[in-house]
A = this chain, B = another copy of it.
Amino acid sequence: MSHAHPELRTPPALPSGGLRVTALGGLGEIGRNMTVFEHAGKLLIVDCGVLFPEEHQPGIDVILPDFTSIRDRLDDIEAIVLTHGHEDHIGGVPYLLRERRDIPLVGSKLTLAFIDAKLREHRIKPVTHEVREGDDVAFGPFDCEFLAVNHSIPDALAVAVRTDAGLVLHTGDFKMDQFPLDRRITDLRGFARLGEEGVDLFLTDSTNAEVPGFTMSEGELVPAIETVFRTAPRRVIVSSFASHVHRIQQVLDTAHAHGRKVAFVGRSMVRNMGIARDLGYLDVPPGLVVDMKVLEKLPADKVCLVCTGSQGEPMAALSRMANRDHVIRITEGDTVLLASSLIPGNENAIYRVINELTRWGANVVHKGNAKVHVSGHASAGELVYCYNIVRPRNVMPVHGEVRHLKANADLAIRTGVDPERVVLAEDGVVVDLVDGRATITGKVPAGNVYVDGMTVGGATEAHLKDRRNLAQEGVITVVAIVDADSGTLAEPPDFLARGFVHDERTFDAVVPLVEKALAKAAEEGVGGATQLEQLIARAVGSWAHKTYRRSPMIIPIVIDA
């Protein structure tokens, strides 16, 4: 397996006729997927998503790929191909378009509708190019063929990119449900045809590469959903991902069969289901979906609500219902169905919501106690099928943390791909396909670009370290008014603490220590506000550690009297 050496540098110029592949995101994390292809002086981008922060990145809204390496080549970009409409594939587009507005966006009808809605919020009117499976379109030197793939959002595409350097197949996110609701299966015949032609580089979704076997079909959720509707004595409240059109379709169909009316709750759910319905991806029986005002007047056992918040997001509808901060009040006998995954890191938040709903008397059906969710990604068994059908010459696992990429690479090797031609790259690692062989040739910047309120890229790791520190330990501001002549305290220092446990007398004990430090400094002729501030910080810091085993952030302020 070809690893990325930790001391990689800027790569040499791409040999003429070669293809350069650089993932700026998605390799080392689940999210902010973005792959840049370079050939004959031009660039093609596949996806441009966001990553959601983890608990050690407090205050961060979303994380973007680092555009540094393409910033001075914006005019060389021929197009951005969007494989599907999930945030981790399209969420970064507004930020890239801020740098050049007229980069063409290429995608399927639903994908473009979703990105268009998002760009409207950013007041950007994009240049779009709609494609569908079977289409073959050239963007500069990149000849792109689109293939249907099945995923947890309709209308997802894989893309095959032909250049003089060879044929590359990028799956996007996919799985191989053989009985999807829309009968639009992953185009394995297409994959096979490309395999016959010869796939020089195969980039495949690694998300579930560690999961043995096969991902269940969406249709296998029917019994559990059916049971919920059959047995619920009062209202049914369903929460799921606002883009999971087929999951919602199953809920609508079941509600309809049981004579319930449905209302959508939550901004993104209302918006996305409107789009999906208008474009024909969601089939709504006449009269099924009604306004909340109509629904409220119906008997509880004729009611179904479909809402946002399945990941425990504190501002979404379901959390607010759980906290009695929503017009919809959970009452004894309500049934809540969380038809969604538990994304790692969100469990505690989700369980808090489930516990609160239970406390109000709801019966909560979720992934932990019923078969109400299947993944959108191919498991190991499906990936092996793909490798055996495509028989690629080179493989580069994409979309995953290191453990997923490694598991996917191992699968490729087990199917017979030459281990020397399996490239285990990470974000920013440059892979050149030259003379039919993919090798790592360098690295470009690919750090986290943090969106923090209105600032993009301003928040650094140092800010996050400060924030984590503040959270763990709190902060003590010390104001010392120092006599400019003597260098000693003009009056006792003032202490202002937040997040640090204290009472009125806590700081009495540290005053003599500060006095002593300043007196010693005055004796030794040490002066200047900065130096005195350091002395104070040290005195207070070591006191806090010795007395309380705590290390609060100390903000010392010395003012000359």
Which of A's residues lie within 8 Å of B, judged by CB? 3, 28, 54-56, 58-59, 210-212, 344-345, 347-348, 351, 354-356, 358-359, 361, 364, 368-369, 401-403, 406-407, 452-455, 458-459, 463, 466-468, 470-475, 477, 479, 481, 494, 496, 498-501, 503, 547-550, 553, 555, 557, 559
Given contact pairs A210-B368, A467-B474, A498 touches B555 in the complex (Cβ within 8 A): yes
Complex alpha-carbon distance, A550 and B458, angstroms: 13
Does B475 contact A470, Cβ atoms closer than 8 Å? yes
Complex alpha-carbon distance, A494 and B553, angstroms: 18
Complex alpha-carbon distance, A146 and B28, angstroms: 51
Complex alpha-carbon distance, A501 and B450, angstroms: 11
Complex alpha-carbon distance, A452 and B474, angstroms: 11
Does A498 contact B403, Cβ atoms closer than 8 Å? no
Which of B358, B454, B477 is in CB contact (< 8 Å) with A555?
B477
Which residues of chain B have C-beta atoms less than 8 A from A466's C-beta?
474, 498-499
Does B481 contact A498, Cβ atoms closer than 8 Å? no
Closest to A410 in B: B363
Given contact pairs A470-B471, A471-B467, A498-B555, A403 touches B355 in the complex (Cβ within 8 A): yes
Does A402 contact B453, Cβ atoms closer than 8 Å? no
Could you tell me the distance in whole angstroms from the C-beta of A193 to the nearest C-beta in chain B? 33
Does B499 contact A548, Cβ atoms closer than 8 Å? no
Does B459 contact A501, Cβ atoms closer than 8 Å? yes
Does A470 contact B458, Cβ atoms closer than 8 Å? no
Complex alpha-carbon distance, A475 and B497, angstroms: 11
Complex alpha-carbon distance, A28 and B55, angstroms: 23
Given contact pairs A348-B344, A479-B479, A470 touches B498 in the complex (Cβ within 8 A): yes
What are 26 A-B contacts defined by CB distance under 8 Å? A28-B355, A54-B348, A56-B348, A58-B471, A59-B550, A210-B368, A210-B369, A344-B348, A345-B347, A354-B403, A356-B402, A359-B402, A364-B403, A453-B501, A453-B550, A463-B500, A466-B499, A467-B499, A470-B470, A470-B471, A470-B475, A470-B499, A479-B479, A498-B553, A555-B555, A559-B559
Closest to A474 in B: B467
Which residues of chain B have C-beta atoms less than 8 A from A55's C-beta?
55, 348
Which residues of chain B have C-beta atoms less than 8 A from A358's C-beta?
402-403, 406
Which residues of chain B have C-beta atoms less than 8 A from A401's C-beta?
351, 355
Does B555 contact A458, Cβ atoms closer than 8 Å? no
Does A475 contact B453, Cβ atoms closer than 8 Å? no
Closest to A368 in B: B210
Which residues of chain B have C-beta atoms less than 8 A from A59's C-beta?
471-474, 499, 550
Complex alpha-carbon distance, A463 and B471, angstroms: 10
Could you tell me the distance in whole angstroms from the C-beta of A449 to the nearest C-beta in chain B? 13
Known: A454-B548, A466-B499. 19 other contacts (CB 8 A): A55-B55, A58-B471, A59-B474, A59-B499, A210-B368, A212-B369, A345-B347, A351-B401, A355-B402, A355-B403, A364-B403, A452-B501, A453-B549, A453-B550, A467-B470, A467-B471, A467-B472, A470-B471, A498-B553
Does A471 contact B471, Cβ atoms closer than 8 Å? yes
Which residues of chain B have C-beta atoms less than 8 A from A557's C-beta?
477, 479, 494, 496, 557
Does A548 contact B455, Cβ atoms closer than 8 Å? yes
Closest to A550 in B: B453
Complex alpha-carbon distance, A156 and B402, angstroms: 39
Complex alpha-carbon distance, A557 and B559, angstroms: 12
Which residues of chain B have C-beta atoms less than 8 A from A54's C-beta?
348
Closest to A407 in B: B369
Does A468 contact B471, Cβ atoms closer than 8 Å? yes
- Among A3, A211, A345, A547, the most chain B Cβ lie within 10 Å of the Cβ of A345
Could you tell me the distance in whole angstroms from the C-beta of A27 to the nearest C-beta in chain B? 12
Closest to A473 in B: B59
Which of B344, B458, B471, B549 is in CB contact (< 8 Å) with A351?
B344
Which residues of chain B have C-beta atoms less than 8 A from A471's C-beta?
58-59, 467-468, 470-471
Does B547 contact A454, Cβ atoms closer than 8 Å? yes
Could you tell me the distance in whole angstroms from the C-beta of A11 to the nearest C-beta in chain B? 21
Complex alpha-carbon distance, A459 and B473, angstroms: 11
Complex alpha-carbon distance, A339 and B409, angstroms: 24
Which residues of chain B have C-beta atoms less than 8 A from A344's C-beta?
347-348, 351
Which residues of chain B have C-beta atoms less than 8 A from A474's C-beta?
59, 463, 466-467, 470
Could you tell me the distance in whole angstroms from the C-beta of A494 to the nearest C-beta in chain B? 8
Complex alpha-carbon distance, A518 and B348, angstroms: 45
Could you tell me the distance in whole angstroms from the C-beta of A236 to the nearest C-beta in chain B? 18
Complex alpha-carbon distance, A25 and B364, angstroms: 23
Does B402 contact A463, Cβ atoms closer than 8 Å? no
Which residues of chain B have C-beta atoms less than 8 A from A473's C-beta?
59
Which residues of chain B have C-beta atoms less than 8 A from A369's C-beta?
210-212, 407
Which residues of chain B have C-beta atoms less than 8 A from A455's C-beta?
501, 548
Closest to A54 in B: B348
- Among A475, A496, A548, the most chain B Cβ lie within 10 Å of the Cβ of A475
Complex alpha-carbon distance, A401 and B472, angstroms: 25
Complex alpha-carbon distance, A489 and B100, angstroms: 45
Complex alpha-carbon distance, A236 and B144, angstroms: 46
